[in-house]
Amino acid sequence: MPHNSQRPLPTRSRGDSSPTGHIPESTPDLVRRRSSARRRWHSSGMHPTIVKAQKAQDFLALVPQLLGFAPETSAVLVAFRGNRTCGALRFNLPDDGAPHKVYKRIATTLAGMLCKIPGVDAVVPVIYTGDSFNDAVGIPREQFAEILNRRLEWSGFLLRDSLCVAADAWGSYLDSECPAGGHPLSDIAASPVNMAANEETGTKLVRPLGTLQNGADPIGVNLATQERLARIYRRYRHLLARAENSPPLFSAFGVALDPIAIAEEALTWPNPPTEENAAALLVLVQSPPNRDQIMVQFAFGRDEGVRAHDINGRYARLQHETGRSLDDLVAEEISIGDPTAAHTGDIMLGLQCERPDIDRIRVAITLLRTVVAMAPRSARPAPLCMLAWLSWALGSGSVAGFFVDQALAIDSQYSMAILLELLLDSGHLPEWAFAVPRDDDGDDDGAVEESDGYELDEDLDQDWGEDFDERAAGR
């Protein structure tokens, strides 16, 4: 990430008492609803399915579908505009028995993050814990839940409910008649919305969801494939080194190592890609300028890739002419207010509201996970960092952290991994993750029927049932 190293990372002071003034205890994940106009390429033109959650167990059945994974040891805030969900924030659950001031600080951070999502007027926090109702006095993690609920209400949000899913049961922190042993988890598993959530797939089977960690698990690739790719990769590395990272056409091998062309073609490759294609992409991303350009192009399209490539070419020429480092050149241009340098840095740090193309990112993540599995170990940090940034661009900071950890385990001095670790540790999420899509600006009732999506595999709209409204009104 060389063109960003001089841009300050967004940070939060632990001493700041404002709602967004604390470093989160864990990397947050933001999940946003997605527009039907921007759905995956194979399903454009379909209308979103509206799923009504009439009971708490129905809503709990929908939360993993909204997140795209089954949460574990997590605090999830499901945000609402009117009666429709518009997003969710997931944080690691703080340790049980932590000091009151720690709970208060974390709750303030969560409420502050929720405040960044425009138009949110209500929320349902859900605590996922491995603790047991049988071992708890009351509902598990009740102390933290009470502090969180109070902070959310002080921040102006209607608390529609506050739920707990434990190892052996579930319950509501707002239900004074919740059984001592909680309600059976089978209520959630048997909810009819599990079927409704899968209507678009044309199957009556409930879609299985992995855990958060599964999103970063390696993909299995046989040894023969890895060895073939390694041979081709070494050949390309040798040729590219001789050409000093320029994109010449190697006609003898029938491969044009043009980073702009390959970035676009890669999104159309079959999965898994051929060893030749995977090696071409892998050797290109070993160059930091090519890596960042391809990564940004995956997210924002060819025009942004061309822009980044042209900038990189200009910096390369300046380096050759002046003998100065890339960081020095970028820092100088930023200090004098050069808009081109600032634009690239703003994209990499998520400091702009223009949204990336969610479909392209999803395809790129699938591709890069396979390429990482095929690649020699020493060549993996670059695509792992690309995976981390693309995951972060979708609002999934925790998955991004897993990829960064894998990159640092291979090369503890890999500069982009170090920068990404700083970015993730700051708790910063991209500004585009909080922006309201233009499609939503004209909603009459404030309900979100179409909004851009982060980490959501199905187009679902969750209507909050009347019984929940009555419960909230009766408190």
Q: Assess contact for 30 and 433: CB atoms under 8 A.
A: yes
Report in angstroms the alpha-carbon separations of 236 from 193, 221, 225, 255, 383: 51, 21, 17, 10, 17
Is 174 within the bounds of a domain?
A: yes
What whole-number distance in Å separates Cα of residue 166 and Cα of residue 139? 9
One domain, residues 277 and 420:
yes
Strand partners, 31: 88
What whole-number distance in Å separates Cα of residue 394 and Cα of residue 392? 5
pLDDT band at 455 (very low <50, low <70, confident <90, very high): very low
pLDDT (0 to 100) of residue 46: 32
Cβ neighbours, 10 Å, residue 219: 13
One domain, residues 245 and 113:
no
Q: Domains in the chain: how many in total?
A: 2
Three-class secondary structure of residue 418 per DSSP: helix
AA letter at 70 = A
Is 40 within the bounds of a domain?
A: yes
pLDDT band at 43 (very low <50, low <70, confident <90, very high): very low
One domain, residues 35 and 167:
yes
- For the stretch 9-41, pLDDT in tens is 433 332 322 222 232 344 566 654 433 222 222
Using a pLDDT cut of 70, give the percent of the chain over it: 69
Is 77 within the bounds of a domain?
A: yes
Is 264 within the bounds of a domain?
A: yes
Is 434 within the bounds of a domain?
A: no
Q: What is the DSSP string of 95-133?
A: PTT--HHHHHHHHHHHHHHHHTSTT--EEEEEEE-S--T
Q: Assess contact for 164 and 141: CB atoms under 8 A.
A: yes
Task: Tokens for 30, please give them.
Answer: 């933001």
What whole-number distance in Å separates Cα of residue 319 and Cα of residue 35? 43
- For the stretch 104-127, pLDDT in tens is 999 998 999 888 888 899 999 999
Q: Assess contact for 306 and 313: CB atoms under 8 A.
A: no
DSSP-derived secondary structure letter, 461: E
Tokens 């138009």 belong to residue:
119
Strand partners, 463: 52, 84
pLDDT (0 to 100) of residue 103: 95
What whole-number distance in Å separates Cα of residue 326 and Cα of residue 318? 9
Is 435 within the bounds of a domain?
A: no
One domain, residues 202 and 224:
no
The length of the chain is: 475
Taking alpha carbons only, the member of 298, 272, 271 closest to residue 284 is 298
Give every CB contact of residue 150 below 8 A, 6+ residues apart in sequence. Answer: 107
Is 112 within the bounds of a domain?
A: yes
Domain that holds residue 421: 215-425
Three-class secondary structure of residue 319 per DSSP: helix
pLDDT (0 to 100) of residue 205: 45
Tokens 């995951």 belong to residue:
391
Lowest mean pLDDT among 47-51, 280-284, 319-323, 394-398: 47-51
Strand partners, 461: 50
**Top-confidence residue, 27 or 410:** 410
Q: Assess contact for 278 and 374: CB atoms under 8 A.
A: yes
pLDDT (0 to 100) of residue 244: 56
Is the model's pLDDT at 242 over the cut of 80? no
Tokens 């006609």 belong to residue:
251
Is the pTM higher than 0.75? The answer reads: no
One domain, residues 289 and 249:
yes
Phi, psi dihedrals of residue 51, rounded to the nearest 5°: -110, 120
One domain, residues 324 and 391:
yes
- CB half-sphere exposure, 57, CA atoms < 13 A: 13
Report in angstroms the alpha-carbon separations of 325 from 131, 270, 313: 53, 39, 14
What whole-number distance in Å separates Cα of residue 191 and Cα of residue 189? 6
DSSP-derived secondary structure letter, 77: E
Using a pLDDT cut of 90, give the percent of the chain over it: 42
For the packed helices 259-266 and 288-300, what is the interaxial angle rounded to 10 degrees?
40
pLDDT (0 to 100) of residue 383: 97
For residue 162, how far is the Cα from the chain centroid? 24
- For the stretch 337-384, pLDDT in tens is 666 666 777 888 888 888 899 899 999 999 999 999 999 999 999 999
One domain, residues 232 and 96:
no
Q: Assess contact for 216 and 262: CB atoms under 8 A.
A: no
Tokens 């089978």 belong to residue:
186
What whole-number distance in Å separates Cα of residue 162 and Cα of residue 146? 9
Q: Contacts for 75-78 with beta carbons within 8 Å, 24 or more apart? A: 75/110, 75/125, 75/126, 75/127, 75/128, 75/144, 75/148, 76/125, 76/126, 76/127, 76/128, 77/110, 77/113, 77/114, 77/123, 77/124, 77/125, 77/126, 77/152, 78/123, 78/124, 78/125, 78/126
pLDDT band at 187 (very low <50, low <70, confident <90, very high): very high
One domain, residues 193 and 224:
no
One domain, residues 165 and 239:
no
Taking alpha carbons only, the member of 268, 232, 244, 214 closest to residue 375 is 232
What whole-number distance in Å separates Cα of residue 423 and Cα of residue 433? 15
pLDDT (0 to 100) of residue 218: 63
pLDDT band at 197 (very low <50, low <70, confident <90, very high): low
One domain, residues 185 and 260:
no
Radius of gyration over every alpha carbon of the chain, rounded to an integer in angstroms = 24
Longest dimension (CA), the chain: 76
One domain, residues 293 and 145:
no
One domain, residues 370 and 458:
no
Is 395 within the bounds of a domain?
A: yes
